[in-house]
Structure 1
């Protein structure tokens, strides 16, 4: 009985903690661009991970601007990282998403806990997400233009009437 438990434990250690070597990543991304009816901007990065050693089904974790998020696996070797940010805080430009395996994530958490820079821990790989910015509507609302035009027409009509009566 003891030998069976040891064999199961060795199997779990040998095959359960596979690490990815020479990762090949292809990524796509999406961000919310229309901010006229929303309060938060959504960021979504999907990527496919191929490892040269054949490792798959890896738990991955993402670090974006000092915040950590889990990477969700939704298909074999397909992952997704998503987060939201307030419109006022969501800057336009490129966001770098650093992805870590379990070992790297443990080192990252230790670095963050000790108030060290996350850049001290090297990620498994990085993915870039480009956000072009969020459209927050025209500079002048149509209601303002309609009221301004109405007041202008009324003023011109009233002025013309006053000149005719004099």
Structure 2
């Protein structure tokens, strides 16, 4: 691990130390606001999630993390390599709005986790953080094992399935 990685991991731990939270599992019928972190190759899964939650009149916000020097349309809900500081940490002016939103559920549908995705997931003020990571140490409250099905659509469907199951069990 290089000096940059050590420094930014330390900065992330310092930011996490400032946050006091306990995961909260909402009944799926009571969810009011959902956030989704995704990468450009997962547009189909984002559309699926948007349709699922919009039909239930749930506020749906997305944040797309580009992992190379592509030139997407600059928007408040995107993060490119140019939006990172020298250490590789997202600049606050690009992430502040999304990170300060209070989501009932934050879904991370990225299949390949990296520091930027970990940072956004970890710092988010969401009640429940759901995603997939092969790493033992991750920032999800619910880490869904997708095994050999390395597909964001499969992950999105599994996230909805498990949210419904968890809420079914906790509401009894």
TM-score in terms of structure 2 length: 0.22
- Going by fraction, where is strand more abundant, 1 or 2? 1
TM-score in terms of structure 1 length: 0.22
- Going by fraction, where is helix more abundant, 1 or 2? 2
The structure with the larger Rg is 1
